[in-house]
């Protein structure tokens, strides 16, 4: 393919890409409610000549670009949901929907993926293989990727590799990180119900106090992390909810706890799932109570394929140079891009978007979140270059 002509076409779409991002930013939609967003995406993809499937996983959109040359299948994924956050930034394009905000930057993901799709569509005759653009709903609630995969995103047409990016205010604009291996954590929600015997607060010996038992469980769960996990393997167990009781002088019959388990490793994840159950029920039994543990299995760690990460690093080097091509340390946050990457080798890369004090760059999910729009053309060019190299080489090669 003629790279300089591709890059010129991408550059020509720069203003439209920024306008699209601002429009989406003004009209954010929560997970599985992205109807306006999906409508804009579908219209834009259809106009560019892609085959479009809407209503995938409720509000998701798949756009298929069939190239004129033989080649592999690649999937580019962009998540499109916003968050229940009230925007506090003083921007001309601030959110117009009360209590909803693109506070994670998914508006930029959609705008960038659309620009890349439109650019490649103009060169479809020279494009080897097929590229599927997957606009995924409900990433923030880790719920959109699984049904998209179940509804054929990777199979129809067949996909061999996957790419996606996340803009981040943890890196300054001008930096890109495409690290091999596990870069984000698995995430599982669990609930523990502790059953004791309720009674008068003055006569604890006639009751089994589920609050005390639950407290012992909370403390013991941290012993799992400190005494049973290799200290060089990251693991997090956080209890975020502990509900019990109705009055200060009554021992309640029951306590309900809920928490999250995070790891960077599938084997450790399975072991800790088992040990959380064993520990909770063992402690409860030793204190005459009962504990029931239920896991809501979430998603695996985000693991980048080494060859695909190298492919993206080569693209990043061409765009932001040696100084801008960095290796961000793994994060214990989660992303259901993990499911696409578990199914097909791929790379999820980070694009720096912070530029304080000139641009609001508060933390992700905060009312002050914002990104420098100079990150959009960087993300688009890295994605375009990586996609083109992948299609032309017939896959990711372990070179460079
Ligand atoms: Zn987020
Ligand atoms: Zn996000």
* pLDDT in the model for residue 395: 85
Which neighbouring-strand residues pair with 326?
A: 177
Contact 92, 35 (CB under 8 A): no
Ligand nearest to the CA of 350: 2
Ligand 1 geometric centre to CA of 102 (Å): 9
State the catalytic residue, choosing from 9, 139, 188, 336.
Answer: 139
Contact 363, 89 (CB under 8 A): no
Angle at 70 between CA 64 and CA 73, to 5 degrees: 40
**Percentage, residues of the chain above pLDDT 70:** 99
Q: Please confirm, yes or no, whether 139 is among the known catalytic residues.
A: yes
Ligand 1 geometric centre to CA of 288 (Å): 41
Q: Please confirm, yes or no, whether 81 is among the known catalytic residues.
A: yes
Ligand nearest to the CA of 105: 2
Round to whole Å and give the CA distance between 351 and 311: 15
* pLDDT in the model for residue 362: 95
C-alpha distances in Å from residue 59, one per residue of 55, 87, 115, 175: 5, 24, 20, 32
Q: What is the pLDDT of residues 139-155, one digit of tens each?
A: 999 999 999 999 999 99
Residues 31-50 have a mean pLDDT of 98
* pLDDT in the model for residue 39: 98
Residues 238-260 have a mean pLDDT of 98
Q: What is the pLDDT of residues 56-94, one digit of tens each?
A: 999 999 999 999 999 999 999 999 999 999 999 999 999
Buried/exposed 213-241: b ≥16 CB within 10 Å, e otherwise? bbbbbbeebeebbeeebeeeebbebebee
Q: What is the pLDDT of residues 116-146, one digit of tens each?
A: 999 999 999 999 999 999 999 999 999 999 9
Ligand 2 geometric centre to CA of 313 (Å): 21
**Spatial CA neighbour of 57 closest among 166, 135, 157:** 135
Domains belonging to the chain, first-starting first, are 3-183+301-393 (3.40.630.10), 186-299 (3.30.70.360)
* H/E run at residue 257: strand 254-263
Ligand nearest to the CA of 364: 1
Ligand 2 geometric centre to CA of 193 (Å): 31
Ligand nearest to the CA of 80: 2
Ligand 1 geometric centre to CA of 20 (Å): 20
Round to whole Å and give the CA distance between 306 and 232: 21
- Count other C-beta atoms under 10 Å from residue 360's C-beta: 22
Q: What is the pLDDT of residues 259-288, one digit of tens each?
A: 999 999 999 999 999 999 999 999 999 999
* pLDDT band (50, 70, 90) for residue 400: very low
* pLDDT band (50, 70, 90) for residue 297: confident
Ligand nearest to the CA of 167: 2
**Spatial CA neighbour of 37 closest among 59, 62, 8, 19:** 59
pLDDT of 205 above 50: yes
Ligand 1 geometric centre to CA of 135 (Å): 15
pLDDT of 399 above 90: no
pTM of the model: 0.94
Ligand 1 geometric centre to CA of 368 (Å): 14
Residues 6 or more apart in contact with residue 164 via CB below 8 angstroms: 76, 77, 78, 79, 109, 337, 340, 346, 347, 348, 349
* pLDDT band (50, 70, 90) for residue 168: very high
Residues 6 or more apart in contact with residue 62 via CB below 8 angstroms: 52, 53, 56, 132, 133, 134, 135, 148, 153
Q: What average pLDDT is seen over the chain?
A: 97
State the catalytic residue, choosing from 81, 216, 335, 381.
Answer: 81
Ligand 1 geometric centre to CA of 140 (Å): 5
* pLDDT band (50, 70, 90) for residue 27: very high
* pLDDT band (50, 70, 90) for residue 173: very high
Ligand 2 geometric centre to CA of 49 (Å): 28
Of 295 and 297, which is predicted with more confidence? Answer: 295
**Spatial CA neighbour of 189 closest among 301, 298, 277, 335:** 298
* pLDDT in the model for residue 398: 53
- Provide the CA 372 distance to its chain's centre, in angstroms: 20
């Amino acid at each position: 393919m003629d790279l300089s002509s591709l890059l010129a076409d991408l550059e020509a779409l720069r203003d439209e890409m920024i306008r699209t991002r601002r429009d989406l930013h003004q009209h954010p939609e929560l997970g599985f409610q992205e109807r306006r967003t999906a409508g804009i995406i579908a219209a834009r993809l259809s106009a560019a000549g892609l085959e479009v499937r809407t209503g995938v996983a409720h509000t998701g959109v798949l756009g298929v670009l069939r190239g004129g040359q033989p080649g592999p299948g690649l999937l580019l994924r962009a998540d499109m949901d916003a968050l229940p956050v009230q925007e506090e930034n003083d921007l001309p394009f601030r959110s117009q929907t009360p209590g909803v905000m693109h506070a994670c930057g998914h508006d930029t993901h959609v705008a960038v993926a659309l620009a890349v799709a439109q650019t490649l569509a103009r060169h479809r005759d020279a494009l080897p293989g097929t590229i599927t653009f997957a606009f995924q709903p409900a990433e923030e609630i880790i719920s959109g990727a699984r049904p998209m995969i179940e509804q054929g995103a990777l199979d129809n047409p067949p996909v061999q590799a996957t790419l996606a990016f996340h803009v981040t205010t943890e890196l300054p604009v001008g930096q890109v990180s495409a690290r091999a291996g596990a870069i984000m954590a698995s995430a599982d929600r669990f609930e523990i119900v502790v059953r004791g015997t309720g009674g008068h607060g003055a006569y604890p010996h006639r009751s089994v106090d589920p609050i005390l038992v639950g407290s012992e469980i909370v403390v013991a769960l941290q012993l799992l992390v400190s005494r049973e996990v290799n200290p060089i393997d990251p693991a997090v167990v956080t209890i975020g909810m502990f509900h019990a009781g109705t009055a200060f002088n009554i021992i309640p019959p029951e306590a309900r706890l809920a928490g999250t388990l995070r790891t960077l490793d599938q084997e450790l994840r399975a072991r800790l799932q088992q040990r959380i159950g064993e520990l909770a029920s063992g402690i409860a039994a030793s204190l005459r109570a009962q504990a029931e543990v239920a896991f809501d299995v979430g998603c695996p760690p985000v693991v980048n394929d080494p060859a695909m990460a190298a492919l993206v690093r080569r693209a990043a080097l061409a765009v932001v140079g040696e100084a801008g091509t960095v290796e961000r340390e793994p994060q214990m946050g989660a992303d259901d891009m993990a499911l696409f990457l578990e199914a097909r080798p791929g790379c999820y890369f980070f694009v720096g978007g912070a530029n304080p004090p000139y641009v609001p760059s508060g933390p992700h999910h905060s009312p002050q979140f914002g990104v420098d729009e100079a990150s959009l053309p960087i993300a688009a060019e890295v994605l375009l270059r990586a996609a083109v190299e992948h299609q032309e080489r017939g896959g990711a090669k372990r070179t460079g």
